[in-house]
Amino acid sequence: MDTQNLGIAHFIGQSDAVSKTLLVILLLMSVASWYLIVSKSIRGAMERRRSARFLNFFWNAKDLDEVQGAVVQRHADEPFSHLAHHAIFAREHHARFGASRLEEAGSGAEFLTRTIRKVIDEENAKMESGLTVLASVGSTAPFVGLFGTVWGIYHALVAIGQSGSGSLDKVAGPVGEALIMTAVGLAVAIPAVLGYNYLVRINRVVQAGLDTFAHDLYAFLTTGTQFVAAQTVRVVKG
């Protein structure tokens, strides 16, 4: 075997259906992980900028009617305006209609608390969507690559045994090519793990800011006292 012809192209050309299938799986894993990393990073950055602008507007507004009108006009396109919109609507709805249904049972403050908690849970679930895929790719891709390496080494050794030639150049080439699968598995897993850790950290920062804003918003809606939200804005900006 000419060692100059060895490499990824030769490995793919002489590999069987199992090895090709594993390569396709790793390729799909890589495409999915990079799509999630890039798309969620861009979307998260845009939402954080909109959130900072909304918080600055909210705490400088004259009254809740101005906030509600602005949210309706601009649409609640990020977590903080979404939370404010539903919280204000919940307070007005309970004050106007009372507890007409089971989900509205209790006082206005209790209904407001449940609404805020529900919106926060929805936003957290939205931010965490796709992270399971990244975690799965990061944890399984090395093993998929390792399986491909073991499979390739097995077939290489069988072929060498059938040829009756066990010289070093006949063994090292096929075995070295089989190790390509392990390298591909690591190349897929490492970005997925780094992207997962990055997105988890960003989500935690946003969730902390959302919890702080929810506390201030609840206090403002129930007591009418406006709290300084500089800390919330700083948390959102990360």
Rounded average pLDDT over 209-233: 70
What's the confidence (pLDDT) of residue 171?
61
Output the furthest CA–CA distance in the chain (Å, rounded).
Answer: 89
Residues 118-170 have pLDDT tens digits of 999 999 999 999 899 999 999 999 999 999 888 878 877 776 777 666 555 55
Q: What is the DSSP string of 179-218?
A: HHHHHHHHHHHHHHHHHHHHHHHHHHHHHHHHHHHHHHHH
What's the confidence (pLDDT) of residue 198?
94
What's the confidence (pLDDT) of residue 170?
59
To the nearest 10°, report the CA torsion of 158, 160, 166, 170. -130
Q: Residue 37's pLDDT band (boundaries 50, 70, 90)?
A: very high
What percent of the chain has a predicted confidence (pLDDT) above 90? Answer: 27
113 against 32, higher pLDDT? 32
Rounded average pLDDT over 217-234: 60
0.85 exceeded by the pTM? no
Q: What are the domain boundaries of the chain?
A: 3-62+126-237
Residues 93-107 have pLDDT tens digits of 666 655 555 455 556
